C-alpha cells in the first residue's frame, strides 16, 4: 500500500514545444523588466528603410540587442551612431523567431552630453562638412536697403528693439514682418516657411533687400527651433542675405553659422542692417576719397606706361614703318593715276576709230543685198519643195495602183467568192459549218445568203 501511494506522488513529465517555451520566457521577461534603464555603447547600428532602428548595446563583458521602432525614433533629438555611449529606457522581451531576448527602446539619452547638445554637435559637423558654413558662400549686406524683412514673434521684445532702431535711423525705410512662433512644436517649420517666402518674393514687388531672423535669449531648449536642419537648409537656399540675431551674445545656434551675418543681439542686427545717416555719409565720403585716389593712381600709372611705350625702340620703328608705308601708298597712287590716264586715252582712240569705220559703211546697201539674197534662197527652197512634192505624188499613185491590183476585190472580179458563217467569220474549211446552217457569200458585186445542204472534204 505504501509503495503504491509513493508511485502515485511522482509528478507527470511535461514536454514543452519550442514555441511554448519561448512564449513563456517572453511572458516572464516582459513582466519582470518594465521601464528599466540600461547603459552601454552602441555598435552595429542600422537604420532600416522602414524607419526602425536596430543596434547592439554593449560593455566590456556582454551585449544585448535593441530595437527602436519608428514612432519612437522620429522623436529623438539626436541621431544614434556607433561608438556613442547612451542610456536606454525600455522593456525586455523575446524575439520568438530567433529565440533571442532584446530591449524594446522607449527613449535614448546620451551619457555625458545632453541629447540636445549632442544633436547640435552632430548637425553642426554634418553641415560644416557640406560647406554650408564656408565664408565663400556668405553674401555682403546691401549698403542702403529700401525694404527689410523681419522674421520673429510679434509679441517678442526683440521686434520692438529692431523697429525702434530702424525708425530712429531711417524713418522712411519699409519693414515687412513675417510673424512666426520662435519656440515649441512646429516653430522650425514656420520659420523655414517664412524664409522661403522672402526668398521667393525677392524679384517681385514685395521683395526685400535683407532679412533679419530674430529671437531673444533663452535656454538651449528655448532656442532649439533655430538649430533644426530645416531652418539651416532654408537659410542656405535663400536668395536674400540673412542676418541671424538669435539669443544673447554668448548664445550660438546653427542658424548663426549658416546665415550670411551673425549679430550678437536683435538690436545689433538692426544696427548692422541700417547704418546711421552720419555713418552712411562718412562711408560715402570715404568712397569718394578712395575713388579719387584710385583714379589719380591709374592716371599716373597709365601716363608712365605711355611714356615708356613712346621711348621704346619698337614704337619708334612703328612710326618709321608708318612713314614708309605712307610714301609707298603715295607712289602707288601716282602709278595708278598714270595707268588710268593711259587706259582712258587708249579707249578714247579706239572709240574714235570705230566711229569712223561705222560712218564709212553704207548700211542700207548691205541690208538691200541681204534682202535679195534671202529672196533668192526662198525661191530656191520653193522650187526644191515643188520638185520633191511631185516625186512623192508619183510614188503614191504607183502604190495605189499596186494595192488595187493586188486587193481582194480584183480577185473576186475573176470569179472568186468569200464565204462567211453566221458570226461573220471567214470559212476556210468544210468542218467550220454544219448542214442546215446559214452562210453569206461575198461576190465582186453583191452578196448571196444560202443554207448549207451538206459538207464534203476535198
In the block, cell 515643188 appears at: 386
In the block, cell 556668405 appears at: 138
Q: At what angle do helices 266-273 and 157-169 cross, to 10 degrees?
A: 30
Average pLDDT (311-325) is 72
Single out the residue of 40, 241, 38 nearest to residue 147, CA to CA: 241
| pLDDT surpasses 60 at 150 | yes
Give the best-scoring range by mean pLDDT among 36-40, 73-77, 238-242, 410-414: 238-242
| pLDDT surpasses 60 at 154 | yes
Give me the pLDDT at residue 1, please.
Answer: 45
- pLDDT, one tens digit per residue, over 179-207 is 999 888 889 999 999 999 998 888 776 78
Average pLDDT (324-334) is 82
Residues in the chain: 458
DSSP string covering 21-87, please? HHHHHHHHHHHH-SSEEEEEEEEEEEE-TTS-EEEEEE-SS-EEEEEE-HHHHTT-SS---TT-EEE
- H or E element at residue 195: helix 187-200
- pLDDT, one tens digit per residue, over 118-146 is 777 778 888 888 888 888 888 888 888 88
Q: How far apart are CA 180 and CA 187, in angstroms?
A: 7
**Which has more confidence, 365 or 157?**
157
Average pLDDT (142-169) is 87
Distances in Å between the Cα of 307 and the Cα atoms of 161, 279, 295, 312, 315 are 60, 42, 18, 9, 11
Give me the pLDDT at residue 196, please.
Answer: 92
Which spans in 238-312 are helix H? 254-258, 266-273, 277-311
Q: Residues 452, 437: contact at Cβ < 8 Å? A: yes
- DSSP one-letter code for 447: E
Give me the pLDDT at residue 374, please.
Answer: 84
Cell of 1: 500500500
Average pLDDT (164-190) is 88
Phi and psi (nearest 5°) for 75? -95, -5
Angle at 136 between CA 133 and CA 138, to 5 degrees: 65
Domains annotated for the chain, with CATH where assigned, are 18-112 (2.40.50.140), 136-275 (3.40.50.261), 412-451 (no CATH)
Give me the pLDDT at residue 179, please.
Answer: 92
* Choice among 217-231, 331-345, 406-420 with the minimum mean pLDDT: 406-420
pLDDT > 90 in the chain, percent: 9
Average pLDDT (305-331) is 75
Single out the residue of 234, 237, 266 nearest to residue 251, CA to CA: 266
Average pLDDT (33-37) is 82
Amino acid at each position: 500500500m505504501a509503495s503504491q501511494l509513493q508511485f502515485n506522488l511522482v509528478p507527470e513529465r511535461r514536454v514543452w514545444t519550442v514555441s511554448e517555451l519561448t512564449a513563456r520566457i517572453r511572458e516572464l521577461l516582459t513582466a519582470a523588466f518594465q521601464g528599466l534603464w540600461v547603459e552601454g555603447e552602441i555598435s552595429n547600428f542600422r537604420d532600416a528603410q522602414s524607419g526602425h532602428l536596430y543596434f547592439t548595446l554593449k560593455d566590456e563583458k556582454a551585449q544585448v540587442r535593441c530595437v527602436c521602432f519608428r514612432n519612437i525614433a522620429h522623436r529623438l533629438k539626436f541621431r544614434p551612431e556607433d561608438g556613442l555611449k547612451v542610456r536606454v529606457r525600455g522593456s525586455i522581451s523575446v524575439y520568438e523567431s530567433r529565440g533571442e531576448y532584446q530591449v524594446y527602446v522607449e527613449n535614448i539619452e546620451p551619457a555625458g552630453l545632453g541629447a540636445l547638445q549632442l544633436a547640435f554637435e552632430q548637425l553642426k559637423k554634418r553641415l560644416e562638412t557640406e560647406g554650408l558654413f564656408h565664408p565663400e558662400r556668405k553674401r555682403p549686406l546691401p549698403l542702403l536697403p529700401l525694404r527689410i524683412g523681419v522674421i520673429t514673434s510679434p509679441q517678442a521684445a526683440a521686434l520692438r528693439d529692431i523697429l525702434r532702431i530702424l525708425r530712429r535711423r531711417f524713418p522712411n525705410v519699409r519693414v515687412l514682418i513675417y510673424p512666426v512662433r520662435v519656440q515649441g512644436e512646429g516653430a522650425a517649420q514656420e520659420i523655414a516657411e517664412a524664409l522661403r517666402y522672402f526668398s521667393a518674393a525677392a524679384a517681385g514687388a514685395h521683395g526685400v533687400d535683407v532679412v533679419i531672423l530674430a529671437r531673444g535669449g533663452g535656454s538651449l531648449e528655448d532656442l532649439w527651433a533655430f538649430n533644426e536642419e530645416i531652418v539651416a537648409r532654408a537659410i542656405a537656399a535663400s536668395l536674400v542675405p540673412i542676418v541671424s540675431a538669435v539669443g544673447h551674445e554668448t548664445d550660438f545656434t546653427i542658424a548663426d553659422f549658416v546665415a550670411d551675418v551673425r549679430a550678437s543681439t536683435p538690436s545689433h542686427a538692426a544696427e548692422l542692417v541700417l547704418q546711421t545717416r552720419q555713418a552712411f555719409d562718412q562711408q560715402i565720403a570715404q568712397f569718394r576719397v578712395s575713388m579719387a585716389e584710385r583714379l589719380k593712381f591709374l592716371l599716373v600709372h597709365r601716363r608712365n606706361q605711355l611714356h615708356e611705350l613712346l621711348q621704346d625702340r619698337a614704337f619708334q620703328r612703328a612710326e618709321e614703318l608708318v612713314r614708309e608705308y605712307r610714301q609707298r601708298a603715295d607712289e602707288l597712287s601716282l602709278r595708278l593715276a598714270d595707268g588710268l590716264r593711259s587706259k582712258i586715252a587708249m579707249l578714247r582712240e579706239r572709240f574714235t576709230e570705230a566711229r569712223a569705220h561705222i560712218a564709212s559703211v553704207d548700211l542700207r546697201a548691205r541690208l538691200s543685198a541681204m534682202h535679195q539674197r534671202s529672196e533668192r534662197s526662198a525661191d530656191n527652197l520653193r522650187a526644191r519643195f515643188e520638185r520633191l512634192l511631185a516625186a512623192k505624188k508619183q510614188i503614191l499613185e504607183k502604190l495605189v495602183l499596186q494595192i488595187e491590183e493586188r486587193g481582194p476585190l480584183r480577185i473576186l472580179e475573176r470569179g472568186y467568192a468569200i464565204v462567211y458563217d453566221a458570226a461573220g467569220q471567214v470559212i476556210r474549211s468544210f468542218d467550220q459549218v454544219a448542214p442546215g446552217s446559214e452562210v453569206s457569200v461575198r461576190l465582186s458585186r453583191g452578196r448571196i445568203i444560202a443554207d448549207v445542204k451538206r459538207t464534203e472534204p476535198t
